[in-house]
Chain A
Amino acid sequence: MNNLSFGNLLRRPEAGAFLGLIAVLVFFVIFGSTKFLEPAGAASWLNVAANLGIVALPIGLLMIAGELDISIGAMIPAGSMMVAVLSGHYDLPIWVGMLGSLFLGLGVGLINGILVVRTAVPSLIVTLGTLFAVQGLLLGFSVLVTGTTSVALTADPLAKFIFGQFVGGSFQVIILWWFAIIALFIFFVHYSPYGNWIFAMGGDKVSARNAGIPTTRLTIILFVLSATSASFVGMCQAILFNSAQVSGGMTFIFNSIISVVVGGVLLTGGFGSVIGIFFGTITFAIVNQGIYFTTFDRNWSSLIIGIMLLLAVLMNNTFRNMALAYRPKKK
């Protein structure tokens, strides 16, 4: 069967995201320069994309499954503070600090997941609660323990090499992590049978449960995944910049949702793709950083992102309807 026709490509969830990416590239080549495609320029948006992308992927899966997690906004600084306090302030080995960060993500993810599953309160509200709770805890504890809101950290060379170096002078090593994580996600979401369960959950939770899918466990796993990914990004940032602050991370909430939606994931669940989220993240990062390569004032980038989001959603709707209306031609 030939699946590579133009029509078939358009009906895929990532079609809109791909066209959006092309449009944005053309836009910045015309109004800026091709400099942002050269290594030095590419590093600027790839760094942004990788940090955002590692969080956007699990957020995208949650959205496909019909849930949302905004507590990541607090989990990123929490992850970086955890490693900095344990390994910087208390001088414990870096591996202890890193495990601390990841376990913090695991813990908050479990709380999010269990609360959502047990209470049936919408996950937006639950994670809004944990967003503020984690933020408060973070601020309270760091002042209590260290007396400040920012902590220095010197990671040992090996940790620095794996999690926080600049490859080739300007590319953060997290970009490689991002690619590896994308590969894992593509396998699990689109090739292993488990991906099917996530789509089914977002399509119709009751039917999915009746079909024998462990919806409760799967929901909790997805929340753990997003919180842990966020604390992983925070941890890498702390190791990279040799310090951690309690603030920052809030922009990731909206940015990751934009990336995911531009990437063709349906907000109400049941539709989307990993590669689409990848395109969405890259598109977002290019708009975010590309503005520096043009003569426009930086302030206009939000306008572009807003318009891009609306266009992307309209386009994705159109493509989705095309996919729904699709009938193979009579032979």
Chain B
Amino acid sequence: MITPILELRNVDKSFGPIDVLHDISLKVHAGEVLCLLGDNGAGKSTLIKTMAGVFKPSSGELLMDGKPVEFRGPRDAQEAGISTVHQFGGTFPLMSIGRSFFIGVEPTKGFGPFKVYDRKKANEIAVKAVQEFGITRIDDGDRLIGGLSGGERQSLAIARAVHFGARVLILDEPTAALGVKEAAHVLRIVLEARRRGLAVIFITHQVTHAMTVGDHFAVLIRGAVAADFRKGERSREEITDLMAGGEAMAELEAEIEGHLAAQHNPPAA
């Protein structure tokens, strides 16, 4: 059997007396999209922060390529190849595409104390990296990040993570704030990242988006993995029900419909 890139084994996380994660065990393989589903407050953010090195698990362990790892901070996780892209892309609205792409690792030319930021090179590499992900509309590295659409920003952030050697890509609700078309854009980029052999962890509560790109699904309920299944093993209704905490959404919907019907056709007096 192939060793997963990232594996969580019986991970618990508690903040003082409050238990947030219980006994989480998950595996992510290269070239696979793991969708983490869950309602608000199910512990999705805590889980990804644990994977990204922000939090240390209270017990249990993280394994990369089968070897136990311990991250002292987000930097450690990043160096190991785990990159998180947040909802708004974690970018700088008033900086140019080239500059923000290379933030912290600016390419320079010249030597000694006269090293100069190489704007041309930075712009070229940044634009090329984004275009390889299918965003052909970005062709000028001098444009400001703030002028890009939400989807383009996400794509830029993902392209950046991949360019700098990410192996595990954690996407924190990348489609939450986007319109239909923009979201489709981001989903395509997720698939492109998967094609390149990255392990993608895709956090969302939009079942449709998850079903479009996911190979493997895990539903979180109150900090525990309530279901763990492969593509095609569950229907959309079943997943929605699971996310709502096991309550049958269908029943809830029927109730709402009944309520609406009652309002439109008041019973004869």
Given A197-B104, A213-B103, A324-B147, are A191 and B94 also a contact pair (CB < 8 Å)?
Answer: no
Q: Is the CB of A196 within 8 A of B103?
A: yes
What chain B residues lie within 8 Å of A278 (beta carbons)?
Answer: none
| A212 on the B face (CB < 8 A) | yes
What chain B residues lie within 8 Å of A195 (beta carbons)?
Answer: 117
CB nearest to B79 among chain A residues: A212
| B91 on the A face (CB < 8 A) | yes
What chain B residues lie within 8 Å of A207 (beta carbons)?
Answer: 90-92, 103
Bound form: Cα–Cα A203–B144 in Å: 12
Q: Smallest Cβ distance from A129 to chain B, in angstroms?
A: 30
Q: Is the CB of B92 within 8 A of A203?
A: yes
| A168 on the B face (CB < 8 A) | no
What chain A residues lie within 8 Å of B116 (beta carbons)?
Answer: 191-192
User: Which single member of A196, A212, A323 contacts B75 (CB below 8 Å)?
Assistant: A212
Q: Is the CB of B93 within 8 A of A203?
A: yes
User: Which single member of A197, A199, A206, A213 contacts B94 (CB below 8 Å)?
Assistant: A199
- By size class, the interface of chain A is 20 to 34
Q: Is the CB of B93 within 8 A of A270?
A: yes
1/0 per residue, CB under 8 A from B, across A189-217: the answer is: 00111011101100110111011110000
1/0 per residue, CB under 8 A from B, across A35-57: the answer is: 00000000000000000000000
Q: Is the CB of A204 within 8 A of B143?
A: no
Bound form: Cα–Cα A208–B102 in Å: 11
Q: Is the CB of B104 within 8 A of A213?
A: yes
Given A204-B92, A270-B94, are A211 and B103 also a contact pair (CB < 8 Å)?
Answer: yes
| A327 on the B face (CB < 8 A) | yes
What chain A residues lie within 8 Å of B74 (beta carbons)?
Answer: 210
What chain B residues lie within 8 Å of A324 (beta carbons)?
Answer: 93-94, 144, 146-147
User: Which single member of B92, B103, B104, B105 contacts A270 (CB below 8 Å)?
Assistant: B92
Q: Is the CB of A212 within 8 A of B104?
A: yes
| A28 on the B face (CB < 8 A) | no
| B78 on the A face (CB < 8 A) | yes
| B139 on the A face (CB < 8 A) | yes
| A271 on the B face (CB < 8 A) | yes
- By size class, the interface of chain B is 20 to 34
1/0 per residue, CB under 8 A from A, across B128-150: the answer is: 00000000000110011011000
Q: Is the CB of B94 within 8 A of A320?
A: yes
Which of B92, B139, B144, B147 has the most chain A CB within a 10 Å cutoff?
B92
Q: Smallest Cβ distance from B137 to chain A, in angstroms?
A: 9
Q: Smallest Cβ distance from B225 to chain A, in angstroms?
A: 27
CB nearest to B140 among chain A residues: A328
Q: Is the CB of B106 within 8 A of A193?
A: yes
| A158 on the B face (CB < 8 A) | no
| A179 on the B face (CB < 8 A) | no
CB nearest to B106 among chain A residues: A193
What chain A residues lie within 8 Å of B205 (beta carbons)?
Answer: none
Bound form: Cα–Cα A9–B21 in Å: 53
What chain B residues lie within 8 Å of A210 (beta carbons)?
Answer: 74-75, 78, 90
| B115 on the A face (CB < 8 A) | yes
Bound form: Cα–Cα A195–B119 in Å: 13
Q: Is the CB of B147 within 8 A of A203?
A: no
- Which residues from 97 to 122 on chain B have a C-beta closer than 8 Å to any C-beta of chain A? 99-100, 102-106, 108, 115-117
Bound form: Cα–Cα A266–B144 in Å: 15
User: Which single member of A200, A212, A326 contacts B95 (CB below 8 Å)?
Assistant: A200
Bound form: Cα–Cα A203–B91 in Å: 8
1/0 per residue, CB under 8 A from A, across B43-59: the answer is: 00000000000000000
Q: Is the CB of A199 within 8 A of B92?
A: yes
| A4 on the B face (CB < 8 A) | no
1/0 per residue, CB under 8 A from B, across A247-285: the answer is: 000000000000000000010001100000000000000
Q: Smallest Cβ distance from A201 to chain B, in angstroms?
A: 9
CB nearest to A204 among chain B residues: B92
Given A192-B115, A326-B143, A326-B147, are A266 and B94 also a contact pair (CB < 8 Å)?
Answer: yes
What chain B residues lie within 8 Å of A204 (beta carbons)?
Answer: 90-92
Q: Is the CB of A199 within 8 A of B95?
A: yes
| A325 on the B face (CB < 8 A) | yes
Q: Is the CB of B117 within 8 A of A196?
A: yes
Q: Is the CB of A196 within 8 A of B144?
A: no
Which of B75, B78, B94 has the most chain A CB within a 10 Å cutoff?
B94
| Known contacts A208-B103, A326-B144; 8 further A-B pairs (Cβ under 8 A) | A192-B117, A193-B106, A193-B108, A200-B95, A203-B94, A204-B90, A207-B90, A328-B143
Considering the complex of A and B, which 3 residue pairs feature the smallest CB-CB distances, nearest first? A203-B92, A193-B106, A211-B104
Please list 12 pairs of residues, one from A and one from B, whose beta carbons are closer than 8 Å in the complex, sorted by A's number. Answer: A192-B115, A196-B106, A204-B91, A270-B94, A271-B94, A323-B94, A323-B147, A324-B94, A324-B147, A327-B143, A328-B140, A328-B143
